[in-house]
């Protein structure tokens, strides 16, 4: 007897669940993320978090930079990882500027990194002006050391003689309008050796940190702010004490913002109110939650969607296998 059903064969539910249209999934992701961002913007959503030990250590060091202490900001990210490194950079600049620290920015990963860092400094300076605070001035408060095409060799020289490594770098002294050696600037004037630098912070989307740690890790406290992709590899360096602090991607950025808001009390408790000098004080009343928290609800929504999609696919596979066995 011939088959009477001439229409298209109906897919079993198991196969149907496994063959969701990819474009449709992208569209759902687009909707979920967009909606979460808008909701966060309107309702000022603050998703609670619990900072990890490595983020706490990073915050303790950065928050306790003495006024005038020098921090080297080694920027190694472009707009391709702005989602994670961008928020970290903003949090770092806020902490340094509010602490009165001086900092010098350099890069050896990509020439664009310097211009991107300048953009972030401009943004935070605008924020300071709007809040009635003095903006950070180039030469006086911070320096742009520029791009170094051969980072490993530059760092090797920094290990031996920081003045030799950066001796050709110049910046404009606004008081005379003349280009001078960066070591004449108030930022690096007192830096004779790399040990005179309080901390070396690297923000990167790639594996630049081992190059830094191998060369100057014993002389200066190195903190790494990295993307989630690089985090598992770098955790080893934190565990062995080669890194003094670590900030992991977007979640690390939110943790840093959380610590800026809550602080660490004298008993070492985040958000606690034990009497005495806090281990790392909060910046009460200042703008602490920004890019990290703005993205956090969207990240949770996207991850929920991913888990749901994986679960649906697995149920589909299970149903298909079960029907085949029958």
Partner 1 sequence: MNLENPTYVFIKMTAGVLATVGLYSVLYKETKLYRFFEHMFLGLAAGWSLTAIWTDTLKDQWWGQMVGKVDEQTGLMKEPAVWPWAFVVPMAFMAYLIFSRKHNWISRIPLGLLIGLGAGQAFLNWFNLYGPQMQDSVKVLIPTTFSSLTVPPAVNGQPDPNVYLSQAINNLIFVATLLCVLSYFIFCTEFKSRFLKGMSTAGRLVLMVGFGAIFGSTVMTRFALFIDRMYFVWIEWLWRSVLHLS
State the residues that interact with partner 1 by CB under 8 A: 23, 26, 29-30, 33-34, 37-38, 41, 60, 80-84, 86, 110-112, 114-115, 146-149, 152-153, 156, 168-170, 210, 213-215, 217-218, 227-229, 231-232, 236-237, 239-242, 248-251, 264, 266-269, 276, 279, 291, 294-295, 298-299, 302-303, 306
Any idea what DSSP says for residue 67?
A: T
Contacts of 172 (CB under 8 A, 6+ apart): 138, 139, 178, 179, 180
H/E stretch holding 156 reads helix 151-160
Distance CA 118, CA 255 (A): 24
Q: How far is the CB of 116 from partner 1 (least distance, A)?
A: 11
Name which of 13 and 38 has its Cβ closer to partner 1.
Answer: 38
Q: How far is the CB of 324 from partner 1 (least distance, A)?
A: 26
CA atoms within 13 A on the CB side of 157: 11
SS (H, E, C) 204-253: ECCCCHHHHHHHHCCCCEEEEEECCCCHHHHHHHHHCCCCCEEEEHHHHH
Name which of 235 and 319 has its Cβ closer to partner 1.
Answer: 235
Q: How far is the CB of 183 from partner 1 (least distance, A)?
A: 14
Residue pair 114/107 in contact (Cβ under 8 Å)? The answer is yes
Residue with tokens 């929504």: 301
Q: How far is the CB of 72 from partner 1 (least distance, A)?
A: 16
Name which of 86 and 316 has its Cβ closer to partner 1.
Answer: 86
Name which of 14 and 40 has its Cβ closer to partner 1.
Answer: 40
Q: How far is the CB of 7 from partner 1 (least distance, A)?
A: 29
Any idea what DSSP says for residue 187?
A: T
Name which of 77 and 198 has its Cβ closer to partner 1.
Answer: 77
Name which of 38 and 286 has its Cβ closer to partner 1.
Answer: 38
Quick one: which of 180, 179, 108 has its CA closest to 146? 108
Name which of 242 and 288 has its Cβ closer to partner 1.
Answer: 242
Q: How far is the CB of 81 from partner 1 (least distance, A)?
A: 7
Contacts of 10 (CB under 8 A, 6+ apart): none
Q: How far is the CB of 1 from partner 1 (least distance, A)?
A: 44
């Amino acid at each position: 007897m011939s088959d009477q059903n001439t229409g298209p064969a109906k897919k079993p539910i198991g196969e149907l669940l496994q063959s969701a249209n990819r474009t449709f999934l992208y569209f759902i992701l687009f909707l979920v993320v967009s909606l979460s961002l808008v909701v966060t913007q309107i309702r000022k959503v603050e998703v609670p978090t619990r900072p990890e030990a490595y983020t706490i250590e990073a915050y303790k060091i950065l928050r306790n930079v003495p006024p005038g202490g020098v921090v080297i900001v080694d920027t190694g990210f472009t707009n391709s990882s702005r989602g994670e490194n961008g928020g970290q950079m903003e949090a770092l600049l806020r902490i340094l500027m509010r602490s009165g620290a001086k900092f010098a920015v350099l890069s050896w990963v990509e020439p664009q990194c310097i211009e991107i860092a300048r953009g972030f400094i401009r943004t935070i300076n605008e924020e300071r002006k709007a809040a009635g605070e003095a903006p950070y001035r180039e030469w006086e408060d911070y320096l742009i050391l520029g791009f170094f095409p051969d980072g490993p060799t530059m760092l090797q020289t920094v290990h031996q003689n920081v003045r030799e490594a950066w001796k050709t770098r110049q910046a404009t002294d606004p008081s005379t309008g003349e280009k001078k050696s960066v070591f004449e600037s108030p930022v690096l004037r007192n830096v004779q050796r790399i040990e005179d630098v309080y901390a070396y912070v690297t923000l990167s989307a790639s594996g630049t940190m081992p190059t830094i740690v191998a060369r100057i890790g014993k002389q200066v406290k190195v903190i790494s702010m990295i993307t989630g992709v690089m985090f598992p590899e770098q955790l080893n360096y934190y565990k062995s004490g080669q890194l003094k602090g670590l900030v992991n991607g977007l979640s690390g950025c939110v943790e840093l913002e959380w610590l800026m808001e809550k602080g660490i009390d004298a008993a070492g408790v985040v958000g606690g109110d034990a009497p005495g000098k806090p281990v790392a004080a909060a910046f009460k009343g200042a703008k602490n939650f920004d890019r990290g928290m703005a993205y956090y609800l969207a990240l949770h929504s996207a991850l929920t969607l991913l888990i749901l999609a994986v679960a649906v696919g697995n149920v589909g596979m299970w149903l298909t296998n079960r029907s085949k066995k029958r």
